[in-house]
Amino acid sequence: MKVHRAGEAGLLVETGDLATAHRLDAAIRAAGLAGIVDVVPGEHTVLVTADPAVCDLGRLATRLPELPLPDATAAAADPVEIPVVYDGADLAEVAEIAGLTPEEVVRRHSAAEYTVAYLGFSPGFGYLTGLDEALHVPRRESPRTAVPAGAVAIAGPYAAVYPSRSPGGWRLLGRTSATMWDVTRDPPSPLRPGARVRFTVAAP
Amino acid sequence: MIEVVRPGPLATVQDLGRPGLAHLGVPGSGAADVRAFRLANRLVGNPEERAAIEVTFGGAAFRFDQAAWIAVTGAPLTVRIGGRPHGPNAPCHVPAGGLVELGAPSSGLRSYVAVRGGVAVEPVLGSRSTDLLSGLGPAPLSPGDRLPIGPVTGLADLLVDVAPVAPLPEVPTLRIVPGPRDDWFAAEALGKLTSGPYEVSGESNRVGVRLQGPPLPRAREGELGSEGMVTGAIQVPPNGLPILFLADHPATGGYPVIAVLTAASIPQAAQLRPGQHVRFR
């Protein structure tokens, strides 16, 4: 693992792949190191920020690649189940691009098992890997100015649920009544990096 | 209570933000110039996590229902209390019913109004900060908003009459630490960045400061893959023009970061005005 400095209070660890990023994330959280502020997995990195007054970042940079990695992470826990009503505005278009029937798009989207790669774009917005390759469609050419909370969407290799109302360019397959972001809950999101996710077909 | 008579171009409630939630996509947020914010709290005897008001380009006015002690720090401006001028970086007494009016800053961009007791709006995810990227926290202040003041019992005594604060330089030189992705850029890119100067674009905000100047050439094409971003990161989109990330920056991003500002330079970046020039070293 290569460790880059990210300013005076950050280290960016290259893990080579997503699964190792999730395992390193778990290892850092389990190690209970003093002064750590944020641990943020990315596609093949983990960013660690720390308080330099409490934590010597030079020493942390040597320590991080030596941490024993757990075999399994959040993947061991039960998947988060998200019920979906598949009536999205872009379902027919996705079917056309993919050369499938809308029913087949729904079947493939709800059959796959997903992993939360990382969160970003907006609070609680998880980028889910594991999308059926036939459904890897480009994002819309012009983004919508408002996508409602609970919209279930895909773009490129990722699936996602919009946790709150926001602009968005992903293609909408359906909607869920599950709450994906609630600041009064702890944690506010049911998703976290490394968590597994399944979509189930719900009646409208 | 503090009544917002007018917020000026933009005024928000800020504290030390929401650290520790970046893995859920939550920006750190908090005061953009955290050094000035902390000073304002210290001047009125507050613990540093109490919330204050961040005023952008001055022009704000507040009416205080009850007598209070305030201090204004950051971008220097004239503070009028009941019409009488007071200087910045000093505790000032506001009588009950008093009107506090901020002038235009002579330099810099963001001023902080701390009140003894702190601004006690409801916290969201442990912070009272307005996050303009994600919409967390209270909305930006509007005329007629009423802000509760927190308890003053047990606070430190007011001991300082005025804090000495160095003036903001006309063309600041911000210090950088190269990386984490300097290897994504051509060999001459860091030299270009540090020879500058760059001009601050009008499209700058609490998320980031956009710069105009010599584009920074890339050594490699393609996409980086999303990764965590730090405050002070100098992110370079495909047009080569750097963006300095401030408090409300996104938790993750996909453009390479050529260098990161030192901790001491981030508050200076938060005081950059549109049209101002800046150098890097």
**Virtual torsion, Cα B134, B273, B11, B40, nearest 10 deg:** 110
Task: Give dist(CA B254, CA B257) in Å, integer.
Answer: 9
Q: CATH topology for B2-147?
A: Jelly Rolls (2.60.120)
Question: Smallest CA–CA separation between B208 and chain A, in Å?
Answer: 15
Q: Where in chain B is the domain with CATH 2.60.120?
A: 2-147
Q: State residue B196's pLDDT score.
A: 82
CA-CA distance, B184 to B79, in Å (whole number)?
47
Q: What is the DSSP string of B136-159?
A: -SSPPP-TT-EE-B---TTPPP--
Tens-binned pLDDT, residue by residue, of chain B (281 aa): 999 999 999 999 999 999 999 999 999 999 999 999 999 999 999 999 999 999 999 999 999 999 999 999 999 999 999 999 999 999 999 999 999 999 999 999 999 999 999 999 999 999 999 999 999 999 999 999 999 999 999 999 998 889 999 999 999 999 999 999 999 999 999 999 999 899 999 999 999 999 999 999 999 887 788 999 999 999 999 999 999 999 999 999 989 999 999 999 999 999 999 999 999 99
Q: Which residues contact A115 (CB under 8 A, 6 or more apart)?
A: A18, A22, A75, A128, A129, A130, A194, A195, A196, A197
Instruction: For residue B161, count CB atoms less than 10 angstroms from its CB and return exposed for 0-12, middle for 13-18, buried for 19 or more.
Output: exposed
What is the spatial distance between Cα B280 and Cα B98, in angstroms, rounded to a whole number?
43
ipTM, interface predicted TM-score of the complex: 0.95
Element (H, E) at A83: strand A80-84
pLDDT reported for residue B122: 97
- State residue B159's pLDDT score: 85
Q: What is the pLDDT of residue B114?
A: 98
Is the C-alpha dihedral spanning B60, B65, B67, B68 positive or negative?
A: negative
> Least CB-CB distance to B20: which of A37, A119, A191?
A37
- Class for domain A2-71, per CATH? alpha beta
B188, two tokens = 């001459």
Residue B185 to residue A99: CA distance in whole angstroms: 40
Q: Residue B25: which of A25, A37, A122 has the nearest Cβ?
A: A122
- Contact at CB, A5 and B179, closer than 8 angstroms: yes
Residue B224: the pLDDT is 86
Q: Could you tell me where in chain B the CATH 2.40.100.10 domains are found? A: 173-280
DSSP structural state of residue A72: -
C-alpha closest to that of A95 among A110, A84, A106: A106
Measure CB to CB from residue B251 to each of A40, A44, A52 and give the nearest one: A40
Name the CATH superfamily housing domain A76-201. Cyclophilin-like (2.40.100.10)
Helix (H) or strand (E) holding A46: strand A45-50
**Of 2.60.40.10, 3.30.429.10, 2.40.170.20, 2.40.100.10, which CATH number belongs to B173-280?**
2.40.100.10
Burial B75-95 (b: 16+ CB within 10 A, else e): bbbbbebeeeebebbbbbebe
pLDDT at A73: 57
Distances (CA, A) of B153 to A11, A104, B45: 40, 65, 11
Q: What are the domain boundaries of chain A? A: 2-71, 76-201
- Among A15, A54, A73, A118, pick the best mutation site for testing chain B contact (most B Cβ within 10 A): A118
Chain B 179-208, residues with CB within 8 Å of chain A CB atoms: 179-181
R_g (Cα) of chain A, nearest Å = 19
pLDDT mean over A52-62:
96
Spatial distance between the Cα atoms of B253 and A152, rounded to a whole number of angstroms: 22
Q: Which residues of A touch B181 (CB under 8 A)?
A: 4
Nearest C-alpha of chain B: how many angstroms from A102?
30
